[in-house]
Amino acid sequence: MNIPQSNLPRIVIIGGGFAGIAIAKKLRNKNVQVVLLDKHNYHTFQPLLYQVATGGLEAGSIAYPIRKVIQEYKDFYFRLTSVKEIDTKNQKIISEIGDLHYDYLVIATGSKTNYFGNKEIERNSMAMKTIPQSLNIRSLILENFEQAVLTKDVADKNSLINFVLVGAGPTGVELAGALAEMKKAILQKDYPDLDVSKMEINLVQSGDRILNTMSEKSSKAAEEFLLSLGVKIWKNVRVTNYDGRTISTNSTLTFETATVIWTAGVQGAAIAGLDAKSLIEKVERIRVNQYNQVAGYDNIFAIGDIASMETDKYPQGHPMMAQPALQQGDLLGENLIKLIQNQPLKPFEYNDKGSMATIGRNKAVVDLPKYHFNGVFAWFVWMFVHLFSLIGFKNRAVVFLNWVYNYIRFDREGRLIIRPYKKKSFTTFTSDEI
Amino acid sequence: MNIPQSNLPRIVIIGGGFAGIAIAKKLRNKNVQVVLLDKHNYHTFQPLLYQVATGGLEAGSIAYPIRKVIQEYKDFYFRLTSVKEIDTKNQKIISEIGDLHYDYLVIATGSKTNYFGNKEIERNSMAMKTIPQSLNIRSLILENFEQAVLTKDVADKNSLINFVLVGAGPTGVELAGALAEMKKAILQKDYPDLDVSKMEINLVQSGDRILNTMSEKSSKAAEEFLLSLGVKIWKNVRVTNYDGRTISTNSTLTFETATVIWTAGVQGAAIAGLDAKSLIEKVERIRVNQYNQVAGYDNIFAIGDIASMETDKYPQGHPMMAQPALQQGDLLGENLIKLIQNQPLKPFEYNDKGSMATIGRNKAVVDLPKYHFNGVFAWFVWMFVHLFSLIGFKNRAVVFLNWVYNYIRFDREGRLIIRPYKKKSFTTFTSDEI
């Protein structure tokens, strides 16, 4: 990997998400050599991916170059690569671009979509965990509409403009709301030769309420907001398969649709090589102690979504979202320096600042630890928090400008099929009329 | 194509570039049925492609949804498709999504890169005529740098950061300047573990001056600007081949490089089916009379880059740039309505408003018909003209914001490899150090 040898201890960080960037910032100029690895050369602000998918924001506005973050850090290296395996015996990682020795290893690989083993769903549905995936969803929505315009068969036409979102966590709910607004703001205006009122947005949830990690009050408010936007909500329905045309469920209910967006589950993005005992089955997260140290290893740590720290309050580990990742990254940065200096470490304690979700124009729900509210004020709080969580002044300015424009004009200009999503053709149509 | 039959005359426009959009606007609510076809669902503002390629602007800022342009036009249809052939005998076009009858056909397909028949150059070099191509160039530049960081072989390393631009028209010159600024603004800061001062930008031109369609004064000024930015200019050098590693020329001069950007020529993007007599060989443009009527046909017209109207002042047709396209689109829109109403047509006369090119920060050259100037004021004129030529208020605002940011901060944030450019591996390196 062409990293210079030095007398400084080498800390290797795998992943430049919220956790990885947080620890990188803490290790700035701390007399250690740091190597940060990621398969993308940018950090992704995942909470706004759904706005990229629905044309409200450009991809560049929610991505930030990793090399720019560490530009002025001493003894800091970035390498663009995917890590294949950890060789704990020889203290090295094995990557696409070669091996690298570590003194301390920080695994911050985050999470990936969980299909619960169903390969057919994985093959036929869309996920939304990365920017390219969001752009694929955007392209597919628009391609479906272009195809629907051409399609004479009514069943095919309806399938093309029927969208089914599986999983009603924050991602599914926010995407459902954004799709409903996209219908009004763009699609009804852009496709006058199509009956866009037939477009359906179906949100399917296996549990008995949406946003089930939030308060009941917020669940209820979010449900009302979605219904007012025309989203159909299906609770207590478990999707069992999707063959590319038809969704089957655990009841007699089925959906005919060309587009399934799967947000029903996440699992840790684990890497091969760790002792099986340190990996939690099914969720694929890595078991860590209160210092984020991986069970069984002195010099390997895991932070963020991939790490599962089982505490009294969080027996299944902390929620897989930005806040625990940021806080663990911050603390581990400080603890690693302490560890190197033989000072006592500080145990992690999660400071739950609350959670929120936006459903649409003037519509959001916010859960603070002791207070839950929703509506216009919640929506402003949501915007404010997200705007200031973005890295980079310019991204903030461009996102703000887009939001103001979209709000005032009831419009979204990002309806561009720049990279077509090459889907297996859903309908084959012969158009012989002239 | 599912276009309703009507009693109105049907005008089919192929292409939504400057010419196609100009005529579409003129045909708004004119008691004709209009079908606009394009292989992209957006209009591209080509003069700023080079800024997308070098990370200064996001793709979305220079693209505009075609359906939005025609959103409120009556009897107007857009279809996303590529036209394969014109069947003049049966008055229909044959496309990927079916056939379509026309009463009047307007060919506005623009131009494409001309490799003068050299398939090896075509295969190994990059073109910059579309947004996806510009994004490919951006990805490749950054991928080359990521690879150079890993490469120990000095010759390979130098090849990876040696950029050769063939053709010194406005596109080549503007791209060379932007690359030189990218080197300073981004690459030298982002790659501290690489000797970026070794990065070369070579601009190769077969003629004896750069910008040879502009005034000699502007050529000279542009050359001085480029030299001050560190660009190497090679005049009177004709590139004869590029095998993916080495450029050979008509002299003993060769270049070792992983990246060739080919802006040495354009040709019309012709469509099969027209009489051979109406097509001009080599440049592939369509011969039209002073009403943009294709030679030999009453109801087929061509406008913009694809059209060649041979006049005393322009014996080879008008220059292939935005201004003639816009003006021909405007006039043909009016003339078609006159034709339908049996009124006399107005012949086209090109109003040359001048031309300009920007080389970098505070550096541009402007040729007005009777006055040539360059420097800071020319740069402001260039920015002003381009900003106000963009379609859409939001695009203008976002581009302006980016330019201000880039200017003040000496930075460009668009250094994102969102869609990797899958190049055949230039170097194979084994990295066995750990």
The 10s digit of each residue's pLDDT in A281-312 is: 889 999 999 999 999 999 999 999 999 999 99
- Mark yes or no for CB contact A189/B71 under 8 Å: yes
Q: Which of A98, A402, A434 sits opposite B432 (nearest CB)?
A: A98
CB distance B111 to B286 below 8 Å: no
Residues of A with active-site annotation = 174
B227 pLDDT exceeds 70? Answer: yes
- Mark yes or no for CB contact B63/A416 under 8 Å: yes
In chain B, residues with a C-beta closer than 8 Å to the C-beta of A131 are 418
Q: Which of B152, B395, B397 sits opposite A2 (nearest CB)?
A: B152
In chain B, residues with a C-beta closer than 8 Å to the C-beta of A393 are 405
- The residues, any chain, with a CB within 8 Å of residue B133's CB and separated by 6 or more, are B49, B126, B127
Q: Which of A65, A77, A150 sits opposite B415 (nearest CB)?
A: A65
Q: With CA atoms as reference, report the closest residue to A417 among A203, A178, A190.
A: A190
Shortest distance, CA A7 to any CA of chain B (angstroms): 14
In chain A, residues with a C-beta closer than 8 Å to the C-beta of B416 are 41-42, 59-60, 63, 65
- Mark yes or no for CB contact A431/B152 under 8 Å: no
Domain boundaries, chain A: 10-39+81-113+266-340, 119-264
CB distance B200 to B295 below 8 Å: no
In chain A, residues with a C-beta closer than 8 Å to the C-beta of B66 are none
Residues A332 and B14: their CA atoms lie apart, in Å, by 59
Mutate to test the interface with B, among A146, A413, A421 (most CBs of B within 10 A): A413
Average pLDDT over residues B167-186: 96
If 0-12 CB within 10 Å is exposed, 13-18 middle and 19+ buried, where does residue B408 land?
exposed
- Mark yes or no for CB contact B151/A2 under 8 Å: yes
φ and ψ at residue B13, rounded to 5 degrees? -110, 125
CA atoms within 13 A on the CB side of A120: 10
The residue whose two tokens read 């970035």 is A78
- Mark yes or no for CB contact A42/B417 under 8 Å: yes
Q: Chain B residue with minimal CA distance to A193?
A: B77
Q: Which of A152, A393, A431 sits opposite B97 (nearest CB)?
A: A431
DSSP letters along A230-292, please? T-EEE-S--EEEE-SSEEEESSS-EEE-SEEEE-S-EEE---BTS-GGGEETTTTEEEE-TT-
Characterize B49-59 residue by residue with b for buried, 16 or more Cβ atoms within 10 angstroms of its Cβ, and e for exposed.
Answer: bbbbbbbbbbb
Q: Where residue B423 falls among pLDDT bands split at 50, 70, 90?
A: low
CA distances in angstroms from B126 to A138, A277, A414, B113, B414, listed in the order given = 27, 50, 26, 10, 19
In chain B, residues with a C-beta closer than 8 Å to the C-beta of A415 are 41, 65, 67-68
Q: Chain A residue with minimal CA distance to B392?
A: A413
Tell me whether domains A10-39+81-113+266-340 and A119-264 share a fold.
yes
Residues B228 and B182: their CA atoms lie apart, in Å, by 14
- Mark yes or no for CB contact B65/A415 under 8 Å: yes
pLDDT digits (tens, 9 = 90+) for B3-49: 999 999 999 999 999 999 999 999 999 999 999 999 999 999 999 99
Q: Where residue A412 falls among pLDDT bands split at 50, 70, 90?
A: confident
Q: Where residue A256 falls among pLDDT bands split at 50, 70, 90?
A: very high
CA distances in angstroms from B383 to A134, B389, B393, listed in the order given = 32, 10, 15
Shortest distance, CA A170 to any CA of chain B (angstroms): 25
DSSP letters along B222-249, please? HHHHHHHTT-EEE-S--EEEE-SSEEEE
Characterize B195-207 residue by residue with b for buried, 16 or more Cβ atoms within 10 angstroms of its Cβ, and e for exposed.
Answer: ebeebbbbbbbbe
Shortest distance, CA B233 to any CA of chain A (angstroms): 31
Which tokens go with B347?
Answer: 């012949």
Mutate to test the interface with B, among A93, A416, A427, A430 (most CBs of B within 10 A): A416
pLDDT digits (tens, 9 = 90+) for B335-389: 999 999 999 999 999 999 999 999 999 999 999 999 999 999 999 999 999 999 9
- The pLDDT assigned to A131 comes to 95
B149 pLDDT exceeds 70? Answer: yes
Q: What percent of chain A has pLDDT over 90?
A: 88
- The pLDDT assigned to B433 comes to 42
Mean pLDDT of chain B: 94
Shortest distance, CA A398 to any CA of chain B (angstroms): 7
- Mark yes or no for CB contact B393/A405 under 8 Å: yes
Mutate to test the interface with A, among B51, B400, B418 (most CBs of A within 10 A): B418
Helix (H) or strand (E) holding A360: strand A355-360
Q: Rounded to a whole number, what is the distance in angstroms from the first to the last CA of chain A?
A: 60
- Mark yes or no for CB contact A61/B63 under 8 Å: no
Q: Where residue A430 falls among pLDDT bands split at 50, 70, 90?
A: very low
**Greatest CA span in chain A, whole angstroms?**
80
Q: Chain A residue with minimal CA distance to B420?
A: A40
Distance of CA A48 to the CA centre of its chain: 8
- Mark yes or no for CB contact B67/A191 under 8 Å: yes
Instruction: Work out the number of other CB atoms within 10 angstroms of the CB of residue A254.
Output: 11
- Classify residue B306 by its DSSP letter: G
ipTM value greater than 0.90: yes
Q: Chain A residue with minimal CA distance to B397?
A: A401
Residues B247 and B249: their CA atoms lie apart, in Å, by 7
Nearest-5° Cα angle at A97, A94 to A98: 45
- The pLDDT assigned to B430 comes to 36
Helix (H/G/I), strand (E/B), else coil: B118: coil
Q: Which of A60, A149, A409 sits opposite B414 (nearest CB)?
A: A60
Residues of B with active-site annotation = 174
Mutate to test the interface with B, among A394, A401, A411, A429 (most CBs of B within 10 A): A394
pLDDT digits (tens, 9 = 90+) for A179-235: 999 999 899 999 999 999 999 999 999 999 999 999 999 999 999 999 999 999 999
In chain B, residues with a C-beta closer than 8 Å to the C-beta of A434 are 90, 92, 98-101
Helix (H/G/I), strand (E/B), else coil: A212: coil
Handedness of CA A216, A219, A220, A222 (dihedral sign): positive
Residues A149 and A59: their CA atoms lie apart, in Å, by 27
Which tokens go with A210?
Answer: 């949406």
- Mark yes or no for CB contact A98/B417 under 8 Å: no
DSSP letters along B348-367, please? P------EEEEEETTEEEEE
Mutate to test the interface with A, among B6, B391, B399, B415 (most CBs of A within 10 A): B415
Q: With CA atoms as reference, report the closest residue to B302 among B334, B272, B275, B325.
A: B325
CB distance B38 to B67 below 8 Å: no
**For the packed helices B376-389 and B393-409, what is the interaxial angle rounded to 10 degrees?**
150
Shortest distance, CA A153 to any CA of chain B (angstroms): 11
Instruction: Work out the number of other CB atoms within 10 angstroms of the CB of residue A344.
Output: 8
The residue whose two tokens read 């469509």 is B271
Domain B10-39+81-112+266-340 -> CATH class = alpha beta
- Mark yes or no for CB contact B68/A415 under 8 Å: yes
CB distance A209 to A172 below 8 Å: no
pLDDT digits (tens, 9 = 90+) for A137-166: 999 999 999 999 999 999 999 999 999 999
* Percentages (nearest 5) of helix, strand, coil residues in chain B: 35, 25, 40
Q: Please provide the CATH number assigned to the domain covering A119-264.
A: 3.50.50.100
Which tokens go with B180?
Answer: 């030189």
Shortest distance, CA B223 to any CA of chain A (angstroms): 32
Shortest distance, CA B236 to any CA of chain A (angstroms): 37
The residue whose two tokens read 């887009």 is A402
Q: Where residue A423 falls among pLDDT bands split at 50, 70, 90?
A: low
Amino acid identity for residue A263 in this structure: T
- Mark yes or no for CB contact A190/B414 under 8 Å: no
A6 pLDDT exceeds 70? Answer: yes
Q: What percent of chain B has pLDDT over 90?
A: 88
CB distance B387 to B400 below 8 Å: yes
Which tokens go with B37?
Answer: 């076809």
- The pLDDT assigned to B429 comes to 39
Q: Rounded to a whole number, what is the distance in angstroms from the first to the last CA of chain B?
A: 60
Q: What is the CATH architecture assignment of A10-39+81-113+266-340?
A: 3-Layer(bba) Sandwich (3.50)
Average pLDDT over residues A381-402: 90
Q: Which of B2, B415, B419 sits opposite A152 (nearest CB)?
A: B2
In chain B, residues with a C-beta closer than 8 Å to the C-beta of A68 are 189-190, 411, 413, 415
Amino acid identity for residue B163 in this structure: F
- The pLDDT assigned to A392 comes to 85
